[in-house]
Amino acid sequence: MDDERLLVRAPTTGDLASRVWGGSRVTVAPCSRWGRALGPPIKVAARVIAADEEGTAEAALEAGGGRLERLPLRLQRRRGVEQLYVELVPTGR
């Protein structure tokens, strides 16, 4: 979203959703599409985006992705997989 926050979308049944529902403090690290770590992990505060903000979140994600990034989302939608939008903000601790 900007230099201070990161916006992510994940299936509601996925690992990220489980971590966020379990507590607002999570650790994330940059990684490749295949899950290989590309940098050091950082601690962040996670906030589930409210339903009335999901349209804005989706527009921001669509603006930043190409066709290949959108394909898995379209396939998930066809299968009825619900998405969770999460804002991540570094905590510095």
**pLDDT one-digit tens code per residue, 45-88:** 988 888 788 778 777 777 766 555 666 666 666 777 777 888 88
Partnered with residue 47 across adjacent β-strands are 87
CA distance 80 to 39: 33
* Confidence (pLDDT) at 85: 84
At residue 68, the 3 state secondary structure works out as: helix
- Are 84 and 9 contacting, i.e. CB atoms less than 8 angstroms apart? yes
Contact call for residues 13 and 80 (beta carbons, < 8 A): no
- At 32, list the tokens: 């490749």
Write the CB contacts of 79 (distance below 8 Å, at least 6 apart in sequence). Answer: none
